[in-house]
Structure formats: structure tokens, C-alpha cells
Amino acid sequence: MSDPTKRKQETASPIAETKKLRVHGEKESNVLMWFRTDLRLTDNRAFASALEIARAYAKEGTSHLFALFIVSPGEWKEHGVSDIRVDFLLRNVQKLHASLKQAAIPLIIEEAQSPNEIPEIVFKVCQKYSIFGVFHNIEYEVNEARRDASTRTLLQNNGIFVRADHDQCGIKPGEVLAQSTGKPYVVFTPFKNKWLQMVTKDPTHLKIANCTLDLKQDELRTLYADIFDKEPPTSVEGFTLEPSKAKMAQTLYPAGEEEAQARLENFASLRLADYKSKRDFPAQPGTSILSPYLAAGVISARQCLARAAKENKSKYERGKEGINTWIVEIVWRDFYRHVLVAFPRVSKSLPFKLETKDIEWSDNKEHFKAWTEGKTGYPIVDAGMRQLLSTGWMHNRVRMITAMFLTKDLLINWQWGEKHFMKHLVDGDLASNNGGWQWSASTGTDAQPYFRIFNPTTQSINFDPSGEYIRRWVPELASITDSKAIHDPYSHMGTFNFLKLGYPKPIVEHSLQRKLALNIYSKVFKKQP
């Protein structure tokens, strides 16, 4: 169990320490909030820390709060970030700029062609604007951690205070440990149980950060008019959406905290109670579709949990079944971040279960191409893949179906699929995407090593019984009214009628591929299927 006293010390105000580092005299001593994947002004722990310091020293009339966002196409390319995700990020930066402008906080926009340029960019901003303290939230991926470590070293070597807050998770990574061993959990269910126990016993884990915008710095509007008047970029070379898709993205995923909060409120008040019974049916509006906003940090997991608890009589467990189920989904998000921190190899495109490096994957590029284009001959798989290509999002149940089809039916390396998803997802997030893919491929944190294999047709019958989802995304099958044929037209329609559809026949036979997969996996795990 974590020690609340120790955590209180860790999160204590840094005012005493910053006093030693402030520049006094003719120069101002300003504060900088460095935004990244935390594009919000509410419940933002680093922003709350920056506000606290700026507020304290503003009384002396010598300190102001500035903000920074670095457009980083080189970093995005390295991570395979999708065009639609970059579009979403930039639209949210524009909303952030407007909100900061209203609060008289200048948002400085810089651009880094390579991640290696970022430390120097931050340092130069500090020099130009007389910054004595830089505040940011921690990003847990290996490359991001290295970038931040380099930045911290450069700044601290030049007498600049740096504070990094844990913000992405409900509970700080490294604190949810097995009581018997003191080690991180590698299976979800015991992690979940411990996580729920901890937040129930100590609700301060999920305390909403105070981000009251009460600074008095209106004079900056005149002093730094060039910053206030400069709008953030609407696009970046190499990440351009075609006009029709850009318009679609704006419609499906409007930017800004106000939109995120409205979605949360709508979901919590109208659909949360029925979440467990409806979440697995892709044709129904049973999920929140908050994942793009969580991935970009436009809303926090704590805000989501607080709203769920409000509907659940302030409980995180032992309440309404639908609400508890949604809370557990947010705990999954925490779990994958904790795994990423405890086992950095998952950030390096390595399997969690190292022995699975020896799986004899197929390198059938034609099969992979058919999967990416939604032309496998399995309607539920193809519907999901086409939804992804069209909208940048896919229903979670269908993500599992399509991922397991690639890894267990086509026996193609999960890393290929992981990269393809990141290339197209508006909510692309390394920890969650990697965790989901490794779960499906049985290379990750799972009590069942390899024998979970979805039958795509059975999944389709169970979770899209009327075929509504399939008809929406696979127009070749829209005319099929037979409830059996819609899930497996090749087997239930005569050859002539099937060929008229213009839809591909199945590229593999599931029953045969299942046996092959069990055989291949059993060699790696040295167990009998």
C-alpha cells in the first residue's frame, strides 16, 4: 500500500525550492508550462503547479506564466502517428491557444524537425522569456522519457528549475505492487483489485487538480501581442488530411475541453448505466468514444472516474454493474501504462513475453494487404478495418476481433498490425495500442498464454446479430437480408449469387488456421494445445 504521507511530500509545492533559483533584479523571473499530450486547462497537475508558482510570485509583480507547445513532425514520424491524430492534436492546440489567450497566458509555438532539437528549443525559450521554472507532465514512453531527461539536464545545468508531475494515470506507476513480492503486477485482474482497493482507501490518488485561472497579467497582451496574435498551425507537412476526411474528422471529433466534457456528461447521464450490456455491440452507441480526447489529454482519466463515481454513489466498485464495468476499462488504461514503465521493452516493439520472439510468424504480404484493406472475406473483420480507414476509429470489440484474426488466423506478426493501427487511429496511444495488440496475440500480460482464439464468424453472430454494423461498412453485403448469410456469405450463398456481390471469398479457413496457430504457439510455450 502506498504511503499517503510520502506522496504528499512528493507533490508538495515547490515554492521553497524555486526561491533559490529565481533571478532577481532588473529581469523578470517567469514560469513556463510545457504542454504535450495534456491539452487541457482543467485537472492538469503540471499546469496546477505552474499556476501555483506564478500566482505566488505574481504578488511581487515580477513573475508571469507562459505556455509552450512544440510541433514535432520528426517525433511524430518516428512514432508512426496518424495524419488524423495530428489533425486532432493541432485542432486542440488551437482551442488551447484561444483559452489561454482569454486568460492572458501567451502560448509560444515552436517547431522541431527532430526530437533531438527539443531540449535546445525549450532552453532557448527559457532564455528569451526569462524563465526560471519549467513545468510539464510526465510521458512514460522510453523515447519521451529520454527526451525529457535530456531537457531536464540542460535546463538544470543552466540554473532553471524543472518540475515533472505524474498526471496520465489514476495511480502513479510503480505504486500498485503485489503485496507478496513487492513487484509490479503482470496480470490485469489482481492489478485491478489492488488499484480499486487503493483508491477506495485513499481517494487523494484521484484528487482533481486546482487549475483556477486567476492570474493578473493583462499587461502581457500588449507586451507579447505577437504571440497572442499568432495562430497555431492548422496543418503540418507530411501529415495532411484530404479535405473530405478533414471535414469528417471535425464532425466526428470536434476539438476542445468543452466538447470532451459534453461527451462525458452525455455518456454518463444517458448510457453509462447500460454500458456492460451494450458495450460489445458495434452497431449500437454503447461506448463513450472519449478515447481520442483521453489520448490527447483533452480530458483526464480522473475526470472520467469522478463523473462515473458521481453516478455510482461515490463508489468505484460494488455499485451499478454498468458503471463498474466502465471504471474497469479506465483501470485497463492505467494498467498498460504501469506495464510500460515497469517493462520498458514494450516501448521498443518487443513482446512482453520474451519467449514469443520465436513464434514462426507468416510474412504473407498479400494476406496482410487484404487485412489492411478490409478484403479478407470475413465480414466482421472487413467492416472493422474499413471503419478504421474511413474514420480513424474502431469499436473496441472489433479491435480485438481484427487483431486476433491477423495474429491467430493469418499468423502475421502483431507488430505489423500495431503499426498499421497507429498509422490510422485518431486515438493512437502506445501503451493502450501495444497492450491491446499483445493481449490479442498472446505475447503480452495475460493469464492465458496462447489458446484464446476468436472465431470471427461466431463473434460476428454474437455481437452484430442483425448484421447492421457489417452492412454499414461493407456495402457489397448491404443487400443481404438473411441473418446467417450476412456473417458468412461464402458458405450460405450459392456460388453464382456470391460472385454477384463482388466480395472476396475467405482468404483462409478459420478451423485449419486455428489448429495451425495452436501448434505454432505450443512450440514456443512448450505446452500441448
Which residues participate in catalysis according to the annotation?
329, 332, 361, 396, 414, 437
* Packing angle, helices 414-424 and 430-441, rounded to 10: 150
Contact in structure between 351 and 443 (CB atoms under 8 Å): yes
d(CA 407, CA 344) in angstroms, rounded, equals 23
Contact in structure between 221 and 24 (CB atoms under 8 Å): no
Please give the helix or strand (H or E) that residue 33 lies within, else none.
Answer: strand 30-35
Torsion of CA 487, 493, 497, 498, to 10 degrees: 50
Long-range contacts of 514-517, Cβ-Cβ distance < 8 Å, separation of 24 or more: 514/408, 514/409, 514/453, 514/455, 516/411, 517/408, 517/409, 517/411, 517/450, 517/453
**Helix residue ranges, H only, 20-134:** 45-58, 73-78, 83-102, 118-128
Q: For residue 110, list its beta bridge partners.
A: 70
- Phi, psi of 170, deg, nearest 5: -65, -40
d(CA 376, CA 460) in angstroms, rounded, equals 14
> Per-residue DSSP letters for 162-231?
EEEE--SSSS-TT-SB-TTT-SB-SSHHHHHHHHHHHHHH-GGGGPPP--------TTHHHHTHHHHH-P
Distances (CA, A) of 222 to 101, 126, 226: 12, 20, 9
C-alpha cell at 358: 520465436
d(CA 385, CA 317) in angstroms, rounded, equals 34
3-state class of 93 per DSSP? helix
For residue 170, how many C-alpha atoms fall within 13 Å in the half-sphere facing its CB? 30
Distances (CA, A) of 492 to 194, 264, 349, 458, 489: 48, 42, 41, 14, 5
> With DSSP H G I counted as helix, E B as strand and the rest as coil, what are the percentages for the chain, rounded to 5?
55, 5, 40
Q: For residue 161, list its beta bridge partners.
A: 133
Distances (CA, A) of 221 to 224, 225, 517: 6, 5, 64
d(CA 388, CA 384) in angstroms, rounded, equals 6
